[in-house]
Amino acid sequence: MVFSSNVFLFLFLPAYLLAYYLTPSRYRSWTILIGSCIFYGWWRVDFLFLFAGVTLWNYLAGRMIEAQGSRSRGARRWVVAGIGVDLAILGCFKYAGFGVASLNRLLLSMGLQSLGSLEIILPIGISFYIFQAISYLVDVYRGDTSSTRRFVDFAAFIALFPQLIAGPVLRYKDLAGQFRQRTHSVEKFSEGAARFMQGFVRKVCIADTLAPLADHAFALAQPGTADTWLGTLAYSAQLYFDFSGYSDMAIGLGLMMGFRFVENFNQPYFSHSISEFWQRWHISLSTWLRDYLYIPLGGNRGSLVRTCRNLFLTMLLGGLWHGANWTFVVWGAWHGLWLALERATGTAIREKRRIRPFRLAFTNLLILVGWVLFRSGDLGAAGTMLGAMFVPDGRGLSLLYREEITGLQVATLFLAWVLILAGGCWQRIDLARLPCLPRRTALRHAAAILLLPLFWLSILKLSAQSYSPFLYFQF
């Protein structure tokens, strides 16, 4: 089941919220757990057994870590065992087929016989709930949070359906207090409903409309320069509005249940460096990688060379986390290389108010190159796209590409980038220097008035279009 479906909007969500608010406060974790299992099991019931096993194992491991005492030798053994099992499960389902395929290619290149293929179905959301389980074990080991004594609270945290299959990556220590006590009000529910509708519009009206522009461009065997640029710009906007739209919906649903999740995006394409980009893009993942990978590797505590090495390795592994394909590994290495270069040269700029057009353009060029690697099916296809991007052919859009796209899609792409630029500029306006603050308030009210008809328009579009899943489901 997905948020952008009529089954979710008109069946699951109303029934779930009714059950949730009719349940006494002390039993609402049970409602969350049962509702989330129905939500997840709608796709495949059998993967609920894997999900239950991961949840139970990490709950018991957390209890044993706390019983041994934070940072003790016994606790260290349990945290290693807990994380080892989690990574083994993730590796089996996500990377075993990739490993066998890579080994087969190596054997064939040496003239040897391949081992045969290995096809394993990837459970949706496994990367997200495994990462949340790992952060829980590490936080208990470090003494940053106590292990939960109520199994249902921990199970509800892991299963919490708004963020279960595509993030944001939550941490138990941030939500533990909210599971014990959280507020519910009309204002909070209304804020959540508005946030959900905003994300729904971003996903259905913008991201889904841009999808054919990107898909057809990356499917071309011999793309031209104009094809690659239009397709890459379309994919960059599609990915942003798709994933940030999902995050908005997840945050909105959390608010409707009384939870306040972390923000996941903050105008990422208005970054002046790759370092700033990763402080604004998929914030919950970048902070997770910082706290549970970069810092344990040594962070910036050693020499500059070691710091750069740690940055590179963190992004390399972050790229591999996104998918079992060499394109993701190279994409992670690309970002890791630029993070290391910015640290070494002191050019990791983060601007709060000032806009530097050249730095913005250069940073976005690096991001676009990365997205070509990220979207391409293999490194050969990525090389073809990048070659076409930077070797102008002067042919304009190819006939095959023009036949597959529409004027509405191109107009939506233009609107998407106008919204991105306007949002970035708006964020950097110095409020203290604006004499006309009421106008800003009036614009907010106008946006709120427009949101409801746009939401209903999105529902109509959803009913008319074919199924379009969230891009991050595959990770």
Residues 6+ apart with CB under 8 A from 315: 289, 332, 333, 335, 336, 339
CB 334 within 8 A of CB 369: yes
Q: CA-CA distances (angstroms) from residue 337 to 309, 311, 315, 333, 374?
A: 9, 8, 9, 6, 16
Q: Angle, to 10 degrees, between the axis of helix 326-345 and the axis of helix 379-390?
A: 50
In one letter, which amino acid is 233? L
CB 199 within 8 A of CB 252: yes
- The span from the CA of 315 to the CA of 293, in Å, is 10
Q: CA-CA distances (angstroms) from residue 380 to 54, 108, 212, 316, 399?
A: 37, 18, 22, 20, 23
**Would you name the residues annotated as active-site residues?**
322
